[in-house]
Chain A
Amino acid sequence: MKKLLIILLLAVVGYFLTVSMSNIKFGANRMGDLSQPKTVGAFYLSKTPGELSVANVITAIVVNYRGFDTLGEVSVLFLAATGLGSILYKKKKKGEHIPTVNKPSSALLQAGSKLIFPAILVLGAYVFIHGHLTPGGGFQGGAIIATGFLLMMMSYKDFTMNHSVITWVESLAGITFASIGLIGLIVDHSFLENFLPIGYINDLISGGIIPLIYVAVGFKVAAELSGVLDTLLSIKEK
């Protein structure tokens, strides 16, 4: 009976989605004329190179036009890390150290990780510093750096994240983001407004506050995700 009901529900949802999507033509240009933008997409495409000097329009949207969303998104990750910590919280005894992995890995893996770990960090930094020029940005770069730390946790039994450092990086990056926004509010009467010179398109230093914010987001996301991984790896069922 329950099964029948669920299949009926699935059928209804599938039917509605299919009917609605069949009215939306795949590959059609819905943005309209770029020179006289009527939709937000067209506006962003036409204004970004001139008014913001940012090559990657998506970065411009994520950090500038819809920067408020990004602030919310960073807080969602922050909340997820906090909530995870509060749900899985266990009072630690003093000086107690829980290893992330039970068994040491092979010498080859350890040597290889040591070799590749700095490269991953550099790659992550590259991704978020070049966020306004190439695909990628703060989130992606932060996730890559956190993955690098994950590799180290997997390879070394005694590799520990310094919680104090994580807290500091996370807080300072978050404060940087919010303060840049507030400086915009003070200087230009609008939260997150650009108050720096925008430079020339496709230069590394261009786009005003956008690279700054993305660097802050990168550090914050890296610290948050590493913190999440550390919390999850240090719970051990007896």
Chain B
Amino acid sequence: MDTIDYYQIMSIGVYGSAIGLILIGLYAVLMKKHLTKIVIGLSIIDAGINLLFIAIGYISNGTAPIYSSQGIDLVKTGTPMVDPVPQALVLTAIVIGFGVTAVALSLVIRLYRHHNTARIDQIKSLKW
């Protein structure tokens, strides 16, 4: 069974789903006409990027970078800890994404009040 490189297959799963999420989100942002759907697309892009960040920090058979008593035991037996930096960056990125989503949705509500529609092809007082 050693002939199969499981991490190769796993990388397809993890990277593939992350890139897939980014592409699906991009598709939604570019193609969809409804503003709320566009914001959903933005949050899907964010999710994909976050997953990509975590995936590059992962180390095979690693454990979380927390030195609790069990964690110290695990490190002593030779289990590596995964890279903590991408995780810290993702924490920041998630919160920033939430802030952007909130502002975007408030703009959607504001636009709906003025135009009585939330479809981008009906909102055309400015050139797109």
A and B: direct contact (Cβ < 8 Å)? yes
Contact of A25 among B11, B26, B84, B88 (CB under 8 A): B11
B11 — which chain A residues lie within 8 A by C-beta?
A: 21, 25-27
Dominant secondary structure at the B interface: helix
**Are the C-beta atoms of B100 and A80 separated by less than 8 Å?**
yes
**Are the C-beta atoms of A44 and B84 separated by less than 8 Å?**
yes
Determine the distance from Cα of A58 to Cα of B81 in the docked complex, in whole angstroms.
Answer: 12
Known: A44-B85, A80-B100. A69 touches B92 (CB 8 A): yes
**Are the C-beta atoms of B7 and A27 separated by less than 8 Å?**
yes
**Are the C-beta atoms of A45 and B65 separated by less than 8 Å?**
yes
**Are the C-beta atoms of A134 and B65 separated by less than 8 Å?**
no
**Are the C-beta atoms of A57 and B67 separated by less than 8 Å?**
yes
Known: A27-B11, A88-B106. A14 touches B66 (CB 8 A): no
Please tell me if A160 contacts chain B, counting CB pairs below 8 Å: no
Size band of the interface chain A makes with B = 35 or more
Known: A25-B11, A45-B81. A84 touches B102 (CB 8 A): yes
**Are the C-beta atoms of B92 and A88 separated by less than 8 Å?**
no
**Are the C-beta atoms of B83 and A73 separated by less than 8 Å?**
no
Contact of A228 among B57, B95, B102 (CB under 8 A): B102
**Are the C-beta atoms of B66 and A55 separated by less than 8 Å?**
yes
Q: Count B interface residues, CB 8 Å.
A: 48
Within the complex, what minimum Cβ distance (angstroms) separates B82 from chain A? 9
Determine the distance from Cα of A72 to Cα of B30 in the docked complex, in whole angstroms.
Answer: 30
Known: A31-B83, A135-B64. A17 touches B22 (CB 8 A): yes
**Are the C-beta atoms of B67 and A139 separated by less than 8 Å?**
no
* Interface 0/1 of B14-30, CB less than 8 Å to A: 11000100110011001
Please tell me if A9 contacts chain B, counting CB pairs below 8 Å: yes
**Are the C-beta atoms of B67 and A55 separated by less than 8 Å?**
yes
A232 — which chain B residues lie within 8 A by C-beta?
A: 106
Q: Which residue of A lies closest to B64 (CB)?
A: A135
B109 — which chain A residues lie within 8 A by C-beta?
A: 88, 235
A66 — which chain B residues lie within 8 A by C-beta?
A: 88
**Are the C-beta atoms of A3 and B60 separated by less than 8 Å?**
no
**Are the C-beta atoms of A57 and B81 separated by less than 8 Å?**
yes
Contact of B58 among A26, A56, A57, A235 (CB under 8 A): A26
**Are the C-beta atoms of A9 and B10 separated by less than 8 Å?**
no
Contact of B66 among A13, A21, A88, A134 (CB under 8 A): A134
**Are the C-beta atoms of B99 and A49 separated by less than 8 Å?**
no
The residues in A between 41 and 66 inclusive whose CB is less than 8 angstroms from any CB of B are: 41, 44-45, 48-49, 55-58, 61-62, 66
Contact of A84 among B58, B66, B103 (CB under 8 A): B103
Determine the distance from Cα of A62 to Cα of B94 in the docked complex, in whole angstroms.
Answer: 13
**Are the C-beta atoms of A77 and B99 separated by less than 8 Å?**
yes
B interface list, Cβ under 8 A from A:
7-8, 10-11, 14-15, 19, 22-23, 26-27, 30-31, 52, 55-60, 64-69, 71, 80-81, 83-85, 87-88, 91-92, 95-96, 98-100, 102-103, 106-107, 109-110, 113
16 additional A-B pairs beyond A57-B81, A76-B99, beta carbons within 8 Å, are A10-B30, A21-B15, A26-B7, A29-B59, A55-B71, A58-B66, A58-B91, A66-B88, A69-B92, A81-B102, A83-B106, A84-B103, A133-B68, A134-B68, A139-B91, A228-B102
Closest 7 CB pairs between A and B?
Answer: A26-B11, A80-B99, A27-B60, A61-B88, A57-B65, A41-B83, A57-B84
